[in-house]
């Protein structure tokens, strides 16, 4: 059984960084999902795919996986760089592309 350890990116719909500083440990699915013939819902018999554990650091998540005897894979995320823009730069006379309405 393999687990995935990653740091989730920030929400694209908000400018804040909430819930993006914790590390998450997810169990990867062992089997695919089946369709229930009566209701048409998709279901799975793999209960570990529902477990999502949060940790304060990558090291804590790796220690947990080692203690539980789980093979793990760490995905590093690229932190976005801050793009600085100043409103007055739109009206500079030395712009490379002319500004128009």
Domain boundaries, given as residue ranges, for the chain = 1-9+18-31+39-78
C-alpha distances (whole Å) from 99 to each of 35, 86, 94, 95 are 56, 14, 11, 8
99: pLDDT strictly greater than 70 = no
Residue 71 pLDDT > 80 = yes
Quickly name the fold that domain 1-9+18-31+39-78 has: Double Stranded RNA Binding Domain (3.30.160)
**Distance separating alpha carbons of residues 27 and 10, to the nearest angstrom:** 21
What DSSP designation does 69 have?
A: T
pLDDT (0 to 100) of residue 101:
59
Question: pLDDT tens, 2-41?
Answer: 899 999 887 777 677 776 788 999 998 877 888 988 888 9
Burial of residue 74 (CB within 10 Å: 0-12, 13-18, 19+) is: middle
pTM for the model stands at 0.68
Cα-based angle 44, 48, 52 (whole degrees, multiple of 5): 115
């Amino acid at each position: 059984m393999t687990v995935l350890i990653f740091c989730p990116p920030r929400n694209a719909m908000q400018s804040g960084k909430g819930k993006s500083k914790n590390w998450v440990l997810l169990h990867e699915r062992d089997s695919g999902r089946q369709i229930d013939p009566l209701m048409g819902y998709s279901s799975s018999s793999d209960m570990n795919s529902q477990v999502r554990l949060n940790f304060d650091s990558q090291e804590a998540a790796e220690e947990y996986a080692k203690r539980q005897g789980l093979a793990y894979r760490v995905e590093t995320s690229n932190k976005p760089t801050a793009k600085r823009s100043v409103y007055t730069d739109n009206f500079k006379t030395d712009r490379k592309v002319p500004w128009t309405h």
